[in-house]
Amino acid sequence: MKIRDIRSKDISNTISVEGEVSTINEIRPKLKTAAYMCNICEGIVCLPVEGSEIGKPVHCENESCGKRSDFIHLEDKSSKTDSQQIEIKELDNICDPRSLIVHLEGDLVDTIKIEDKIVVIGVLKAHFQSTSTTGDFVLEANSVEKMKEKKVVSDNKEGTDSSGEIQIIREIIDQLRLSSPSDKVLLEDIYREASNLHIGRERAEKYIAKLRRQGCAYLPDEKHLRALW
Ligand SMILES: [Zn+2]
């Protein structure tokens, strides 16, 4: 599923999402079960922790007590696991990549690096700040797999790493824009700069066509290109 296609109706479903890791946060301890002690009989009640909420028991589970009581949270008797929040963004060099928060737990913590391209399978949840009516989509990961780098057969010149070269074209355009007050760039200038970097005109034309298809650039007239990033 594409990150941009995620909607509220997908909450609670198991989905699979591809993306590039853009943020990795600190590893933090997370409560799995919370232990409480009854104030009256000192019996212990363990509750599973759902999502980010810690529920407090209302009635004591101890049969001889069963009273409505105050409960004290017992930090050292509560079970914990490692957790880590990361963010992934859409792949393919698109201009406005959307991102998604992913929660990793247990063995999944610390298994990835920034810029890794991964496939995450998990359950989609919605997280809300306490007073807000608008929340965030969060993917609670069950599995994380690194995507295999696509090996391009390089028996002809077209087969070289095209995502690297398209990046070079974008950088050329960025450079040329700096000296163009109207933000328009001459196509011929792009081809010339590209050829200086050993990207032939035919390939450069192909990359520009790709940028236009992705909605990242358009041609205001025959000779110029305007970038939209
Ligand atoms: Zn009790």
Q: 3-state DSSP: the chain helix, strand, coil percent, rounded to 5?
A: 25, 40, 40
Using the mean position of ligand 1's atoms as its centre, give its distance from the Cα of residue 53 in Å.
Answer: 23
Residues 17, 122: Cα–Cα separation, whole Å: 9
1-149 matches 162-227 in fold: no
Give the largest Cα separation in the chain, rounded: 87
Computed over every residue of the chain, the mean pLDDT equals 87
* Dihedral, CA of residue 76, residue 79, residue 84 and residue 85, to nearest 10: -100
pLDDT in tens, 42-69: 888 888 887 666 778 888 888 888 878 7
Using the mean position of ligand 1's atoms as its centre, give its distance from the Cα of residue 81 in Å.
Answer: 28
CATH code of 162-227, in short, is: 1.10.10
Using the mean position of ligand 1's atoms as its centre, give its distance from the Cα of residue 42 in Å.
Answer: 6
Judge whether residue 155 has pLDDT over 80.
Answer: no
User: pTM for the full model?
Assistant: 0.60
- Nearest alpha-carbon partner for 36 in 6, 10, 60: 60
Q: What percent of the chain has pLDDT over 70?
A: 92
* Superfamily of domain covering 1-149: Nucleic acid-binding proteins (2.40.50.140)
Helices in 72-179 by DSSP H: which ranges? 162-178
Using the mean position of ligand 1's atoms as its centre, give its distance from the Cα of residue 62 in Å.
Answer: 6
Q: What is the pLDDT of residue 179?
A: 83
Kindly list the domain boundaries of the chain, sorted by start residue.
1-149, 162-227
Using the mean position of ligand 1's atoms as its centre, give its distance from the Cα of residue 31 in Å.
Answer: 23
